[in-house]
Amino acid sequence: MKTFQDFLNTMEDTEKRQKMESILNHIRKKYPRLKEEIKWNQPMFSDHGTFIMGFSLAKNNIAVAPEAVVIKHFEKDIEKAGYTHTTNLIRIKWTDEVDYDLLDRMIEYNLEDKKGMTKYWR
């Protein structure tokens, strides 16, 4: 698997594939400078060699991984959006609306907070 399209092509459920594609396309369009990468068979976005946000799939949800510090910073907003979370990921149920504003704010937080970072992970 080398591209986001390869990742999407693994999804048999058309509605789920369209939802995941919508999220990826939103980020592509709003943040064209971000590099698209497939790591561990998951789509990820990076900037200047550092991780910004990644996604994975589960039976009941899309898992969004912006790193633990971002989840802690936006914990109340995540819960207000109706999403559950762990220390390292946010769950967007397949039946949930996607809060694109929240995703954008988390990406922008990472872009600002990781400006001079040279490592992939915090």
Structural Rg of the chain based on CA atoms: 14
| pLDDT at residue 61, rounded to an integer | 97
Q: Which amino acid is at 62?
A: I
> What pLDDT does 70 receive?
98
The answer to whether 50 and 39 have CB atoms below 8 angstroms apart is no
Cα separation values, 20 from 4, 5, 58, 62, 79, Å: 10, 11, 12, 8, 21
Low-confidence ranges of the chain (pLDDT < 50): none
pTM score of the predicted model: 0.95
Tokens, residue 45: 């976005």
pLDDT of residue 22: 98
pLDDT digits (tens, 9 = 90+) for 80-99: 999 999 999 999 999 999 99
54 with 42: CB under 8 angstroms? yes
